[in-house]
Amino acid sequence: MRHESPLSLPRHVAIIMDGNGRWARARGLPRTAGHRAGVERVREAVRTAAEANIGYLTLFAFSSENWNRPQEEVSDLMGILRFFIRRDLADLHRENVCIKVIGCRDTVQPDIRALLDEAEERTRNNTGVTLIIAFNYGARNELTRAVRSIAEAVRSGRIDPAHVSEATLSTYIDTTGIPDPDLVIRTSGEQRLSNFLLWQAAYSEFVFMPCLWPDFDRKAFYEALAEYSRRDRRFGAVEAPEIAVGS
């Protein structure tokens, strides 16, 4: 049976998938078990987004700071990513999901870079949910790369520095052509952005969920959407005053 969607839905939802390690620790399991359980929730989140007619879903899969974790855990995470793409790419393609990857790929292992490229190329023409995977992503790095590219364009004469604007920067960041997220969800009860979509989330609504990511199921997703639907988004404007009848 189809879930009854909230009246006001976001076009783009971004999720910071947090709490895999704590989920595993609470069960006496290795952190890898939490990451593997988290992959199952990725599939459910994509299906729920499609069911709710959400056009864009961004998942913070691996941050540029995650390389500082123990080497064994990083290796496990890379293995899980390989497994996810090889196992699920055909299903995502069949479900009309369009995959895009944001983040810096220059330092990523060649086989993983090839898998990411394949996922994008194979699903390029799909018209369902656009799944944006933030991999080796950090917002400060993204902005630094964008500013560097703009500086090079100015130096070569392709851009007049007097014409550099917010719109200019928006065309150089990783999410160019993708609408900014209306809703940012973070699981595990933490209440911070952690270097995620700093530019794009300027006017996003935030919903912080107490559950850990492996427990973030379809019901929790709809609870976050319901909370979003109750928000009054003014984008810095003042709410229009009510006009009394007969005035």
- Residue written as token pair 């550099």: 164
For the chain, which domains are there?
12-137+181-229 (3.40.1180.10)
What CA–CA distance (Å, rounded) separates 216 from 149? 38
Active site residues: 18, 66
Token couple for 84: 């996810």
Query: What does the pLDDT profile of the chain (247 residues) look like in tens digits?
Result: 344 444 589 999 999 999 999 999 999 999 889 999 999 999 999 999 999 999 999 999 888 777 777 788 788 888 888 888 888 999 999 999 999 999 998 888 899 999 999 999 999 999 999 999 999 999 999 999 999 999 999 999 999 999 999 999 999 999 999 999 999 999 999 999 999 999 999 999 999 999 999 999 999 999 999 999 999 877 766 565 554 444 4
Cβ(226)–Cβ(48) under 8 Å? Answer: no
pLDDT of residue 133: 95
User: What are the binding residues for substrate?
Assistant: 19-23, 31, 35, 63-65, 67, 69, 186, 192-194
Across-strand partners of 13?
Answer: 57, 183
Cβ(200)–Cβ(180) under 8 Å? Answer: yes
pTM: 0.89
pLDDT of residue 213: 97
Across-strand partners of 59?
Answer: 15, 133
User: What are the binding residues for Mg(2+)?
Assistant: 18, 205
pLDDT of residue 3: 47
Across-strand partners of 130?
Answer: 56, 98
pLDDT of residue 245: 47
pLDDT of residue 7: 56
**What letter would DSSP give residue 210?**
S
Positive or negative, the Cα torsion across 51, 52, 54, 57?
A: negative
H/E stretch holding 99 reads: strand 98-102
Residue 42 amino acid letter: V
**What letter would DSSP give residue 66?**
G
